[in-house]
Structure 1
C-alpha cells in the first residue's frame, strides 16, 4: 500500500496526518519540524508543524514529508548561489541565480540545478589529474617500494610493490560531483527526466571512486584548470554537507532518513552577511563573519555577532550586524534582539548596531537607548532595524544591502567616548 506524501508549509499551521508510531517518533526526535506530537483526538494521527527547514525527507516506515518554503524557490536558490560564490555573483546578480528549471519544490529544483551544473562542467570533457597509486604489479613501473617488497615477498619478484603517478579521472573534483549525483538519486521526489540525466552524469564520472558515506569530503583547490568545475563543485558540496537527519530511540541505533533540507535561518544569515561583506569591501573595509568576543571581563560569556566591520587595517570596529530570519512585529519591536544588539555595541564600544530582518513594514528605523548619551555630539546609542523584501528581484535585494552598508561605511568610526 502506497502511503501518500505529507505536505507542510514553512512556519505554517499545525496539520494532523496519519502516521505510524515509528515515523512519528522519528520526526519528533529528529529536530526537522518545529513540533511533532500524537493527535489526542485521532488515534494513529500525529500533529505536525514545520519550522525553518524546507525540503523533503522520507520517514522510516512512513510517508515522504515535504516542507514548502515561503520564499519562491527561484529566489531561495539565488540566495544559496550568491552565498556559495559571491565574487562571481556580485559582478552581475543574474549570475548568482541557480538554474532551477520550472520546478517550484526544493528537491526537484535542487536536483535539476546540480545536474545542469555538472553537465556544464563536463561539456569539454572529464577533468583529468595525477594521482599517486600504490599496487602490486607483475612488472616494475614507477618506483619500487623496497620496504613493502621485502616485507610481503621477501625480496622476490614478481609481483613488484610499486608506486607511480597515474593520469586519471579519479580526482577530488570528480569524486565530489559523482557523490552529489549519487546522493540526489537517493532523494525522494526527484522527477524521472532529472533522475535519468543524473544517472547519465554518474556514468560519465565512472572513473572517479565513490565516496564512503560519512567520510570527509576530498579537498580541492580553485585553479585555472578546474575553473569550469567550480560552480558545480560549490553546489555539490552544499548538497553533500547537508547531513541526513537521524532519530535515535533510547538504547537503539539511529534511524537514518533520506532527504535534503535547507535551514532558512542559516541560509538567510549566510546570504546577508556575505552580501554585506562584499558591499563593505567596495569601500575598502574588512568584515569578519562570526567574530567572537566576550561579554564579561573574566571571559566566561562568549558572544558571536554575525558580522563585525573594521577599518582597513582591521583594528578599529566600525559597525556590527546580526541577521534575523523573522518578520518584523506590528510594533516594530523584537525586544530580545534589541538587547542582543545593545550588548554587541557595548562590548565593541560602538555608537550603533544593526539588525537585518527578512521582512517588515519599514525598510529602516532606529531606537535610541536611554542612559547612553556620550561623545561630543551628545547622541545616544542607536539600534537600527532594517528589513529586506525577499520577493524583490535579485539586483533590488543586493541594492538594498548596499544601501544598508553605505551609511556606516561613509560615516566612519564612531566609538563611544
Structure 2
C-alpha cells in the first residue's frame, strides 16, 4: 500500500518544492487551489498557495492550504457571516492546530446534534402521486388526459406531514459532505454517523441540484445555527473528478469571498443600526446604453433608491499588469456614475495601507481602510463599528481642505 504524501501550504505564503508526476502537475494546475511552477530539475516543482484555502487529494498526494488566520475560532467566526448572519460568538472552542474542514465538521456535528436532540423537525410537504385509493384531492385534468378517465389508479395531490423537508435535507447534505473529510476526530465522525442514521428517512441530495431553500421561523428556531453552518459547508467548492489516471477530490473556500461576505454583512448591520438602508451587490450600469453592469459590494440608499455612499471590499489589493491601481479605478467609476464625492475601499490589514487618494480634476476622495482579521471577534466588531462611524459621518472640514489643496495649482 502506497504511503500518502502530504504537502502543507499557507494561504499566500512561500512556495514549497516537491516532486510531481505529469498527471499530478496537470491536476494541480486545473484546480485553482495552488500553482505549480517547474524548476530546472526534472520532475521537481515549486507549489504555492493563492487566496483559496482547503484540502485536495490528488491520487496519493494530499495538498492542504491553511489560512493565514492561525486561530480557527476566528475563521469560523468570519464564516458565520457568509451570506447571512449565523452566530455572534464561538459555539465551539477549537485548538490552534486543528485543520479547517475537520474543525467545521466538529462545529457542525455539535450544532446539528444539539438541534435534533429532541427529534427531527417535521412539516407539511405537497405530494403529487398516483394511488389505488383516494387521498387528498383528485387531479381531474391529469386523470382524464393521462389516465383516460379510468377509475384507478387515481392521480391525487395531498399534504404529507413528514421529516423529508428542506431543513432536514440541508442537514443531511452537509452531513454526507463532511463524512468525506479526512482526519475527522472520532467524536465528530461518531456524531455525523448518528446524524446520518437519524436522517435516514430524508431524501439524499442529488448531484448538481440546487440547495433546498428554507426560511427562518419560530418553528425551526432550534435549527437556525446548524442550518446556516450547513449552507457554509455546502457553499464550499467541492469536486470529484479524474485527471489522467488520478482521482481528484477535495473542498475549497475563497478567502476573498469570506472577507467580502463578512464586510458586507457586519458593516451593513452596523450602518442599518445607524438608520441607513443598505443593499449588497447593488446593480447599476456604467454606460448610458446599459451594456456594462457594475455591482458595488455595499451601498446605503436614500429616497428613490438614490445611492448616498458605497463600499467595496477587497481581500487583496488588485494589481494586474498594466492596471496597477485597478481598485481605485473601479471605485472612481462607481462614484462618477452615482454622483458621489467620495467612496470607500476596505482591505484586510497587511494588504494595503490606510490612506486617502484625492483624484485630480474631480476632487473625488477614495478612502482606503483596513480591518485587522487577527483581532478577537469582539474587537473586530468594534473596529467595524468605528469604521461605520468614519464612513457615515465623514469629517467634512478636513475633506474640504484636502480637496481645495488638490485643486489649487502650484505657484
- Global fold match (TM > 0.5): yes
Tell me how far apart the structure 2 counterparts of residues 163 and 186 of structure 1 sit (CA, whole Å).
37
Q: Identify the match of residue 67 of structure 1 among 65, 68, 71.
A: 65
Larger mean CA deviation between 272-281 and 318-327 belongs to 318-327
Asked if 1 retains the 8 angstrom alpha-carbon contact of 2:81 and 2:261, the reply is: no
Q: Contact conserved, 1:318 with 1:408, CA < 8 A, in 2? A: no
Using the alignment, how far apart are the partners of 2:155 and 2:233 within structure 1? 38
Deviation at 1:32, TM superposition (A): 2.1
**CA distance, structure 1, for counterparts of residue 206 and residue 81 of structure 2:** 29
- 1:79-158 counterparts in 2 under 5 A? 79-86=78-85, 89=87, 93-94=88-89, 97-99=90-92, 101-102=94-95, 104-137=98-131, 139-144=133-138, 151=146, 155=150, 157=152
For residues 121-141 of structure 1, give each alpha carbon's deviation from its aligned partner in whole angstroms, at most 9, with x where no partner exists. Answer: 112210011223344555444
TM-score, normalised to structure 2, is: 0.84
2:273 to 262, 282, 287: 282
TM-score relative to the length of structure 1:
0.83
CA deviation after TM superposition for structure 1 residue 52, in Å: 0.7
* Distance in 1 (alpha carbons) for counterparts of 2:288 and 2:132: 68
Q: Which runs of 5+ in 2 are unaligned?
A: 404-411
Judge which range, 106-115 or 238-247, deviates more.
Answer: 238-247
SS of the residue 2:5 aligns to: coil
1:357 matched to 2:340: no
Match runs of 1:213-224 below 5 Å: 213-224=207-218
Gaps of 5+ in 1: 373-379
For 2:287 and 2:156, locate their aligned partners in 1 and report how far apart those are by CA, in whole Å.
Answer: 60
Q: Deviations over 1:377-416 (max 9, x none)?
A: xxx3222111111111112111111111113423599999
The correspondence of residues 207-356 of structure 1 with structure 2, limited to 5 A, is 207-245=201-239, 257-311=248-302, 313-326=303-316, 335-356=325-346
1:185 equivalent in alignment to 2:168? no
Per-residue CA deviations over 1:100-138 (Å, capped at 9, x if unaligned) read 533631111111111112112112210011223344555
C-alpha separation between the residues in 2 aligned to 1:240 and 1:17?
31
CA contact (8 A) 1:26 1:246 kept: no
> How many Å separate the matches in 2 of 1:279 and 1:233?
24
- Write the distance in 1 (CA, Å) between the matches of 2:318 and 2:138: 69
Q: For 1:158-186, what per-residue CA distance to the aligned partner results, in whole angstroms no more than 9, with x for missing partners?
A: x6554432221111110110111001111
Q: Match of 2:348, SS?
A: strand
Counterparts of 2:262 and 2:198, CA distance in 1: 33
Aligned to 2:36: 36
Q: Secondary structure at the match of 1:25?
A: helix
Change (3 A) 1:382 1:288: same
2:237 aligned counterpart, secondary structure: coil
Residue 393 (structure 1) aligned with residue 373 (structure 2)? no
Provide the C-alpha distance between the structure 2 equivalents of 1:145 and 1:174, rounded to a whole number of angstroms: 29
Task: Give the superposition deviation at 1:292.
Answer: 2.7
SS of residue matched to 2:316: strand
Task: Indicate yes or no: 2:197 matched with 1:203.
Answer: yes
- From the superposition, tell whether residues 161 and 290 of structure 1 become closer, same or farther in structure 2 (CA, over 3 Å): closer
Aligned length: 391
**Residues 337, 139 of structure 1: alpha-carbon distance in 2 compared, 3 angstrom cutoff:** closer
